[in-house]
């Protein structure tokens, strides 16, 4: 089954293809420069995922999936949340976002080793400008005080999922895929699509 992912992020495309496996062929918007970037002005991950899926499915045929995901840190009242990718500014790098997050945590009253956080992912599935469903995955964990590991992307090097001694940046890819927020959302999406 062909799926079009509403992103130009090759990391995300590779991860989603890997998790969904060979039953699906995942392509993305790098082959469609004519499709403009969607303005993510929703108030939730679900809002933004729906906005992106709807916008792309109006222009291109077939199943379109859109992902919005990010990190929620309790000590920062849920920040960076929907602003995770641009926490340190519109064109911030992963490193800049991590540095800003760790600075903000130092300013807060959060105790080291007890900084509860979660990664949340919402996928929206659309076809012909209709939303067919949304699928959420969440993984709880804590923020570590220094980045660990070179795997993954985004905030992975500072997020340690509950029940593990390693960050997402240190975990083997297959293990991370099984427990990650995106993996959990994609499991639900895959089950839905297998019934169609």
If you count them, how many residues does the chain have? 196
Cα dihedral sign, 135-143-82-3: negative
Dihedral of CA atoms 10, 12, 13, 15 in degrees, nearest 10, equals 120
Q: Which H or E element spans position 184?
A: helix 181-194
How far apart are the C-alpha atoms of 75 and 109, rounded to whole Å? 8
Phi first, then psi: give them for residue 13, nearest 5 degrees: -60, -45
The answer to whether residues 52 and 40 touch, using CB atoms and an 8 Å cutoff, is: yes
How many other C-beta atoms lie within 10 A of the C-beta of residue 133? 12
Q: Which residues are catalytic?
A: 68
């Amino acid at each position: 089954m062909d799926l079009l992912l509403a992103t130009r992020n090759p990391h995300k495309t590779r991860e989603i293809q890997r998790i969904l496996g060979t039953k699906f062929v995942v392509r993305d918007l790098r082959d469609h420069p004519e499709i403009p970037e969607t303005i993510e002005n929703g108030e939730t991950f679900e809002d933004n995922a729906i906005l992106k899926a709807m916008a792309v499915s109006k222009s291109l045929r077939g199943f379109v999936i859109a992902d919005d995901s990010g990190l929620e840190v309790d000590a920062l009242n849920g920040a960076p949340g929907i602003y995770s990718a641009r926490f340190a500014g519109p064109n911030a790098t992963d490193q800049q976002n991590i540095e800003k997050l760790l600075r903000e945590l130092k300013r807060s009253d959060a105790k080291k080793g007890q900084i509860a956080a979660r990664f949340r992912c919402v996928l929206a599935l659309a076809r012909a400008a209709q939303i067919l469903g949304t699928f959420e995955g969440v993984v709880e964990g804590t923020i570590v005080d220094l980045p660990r590991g070179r795997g993954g992307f985004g905030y992975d090097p500072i997020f340690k999922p509950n029940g593990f001694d390693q960050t997402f940046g240190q975990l083997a890819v297959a293990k991370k895929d099984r427990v990650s927020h995106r993996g959990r959302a994609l499991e639900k999406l895959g089950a839905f699509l297998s019934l169609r």
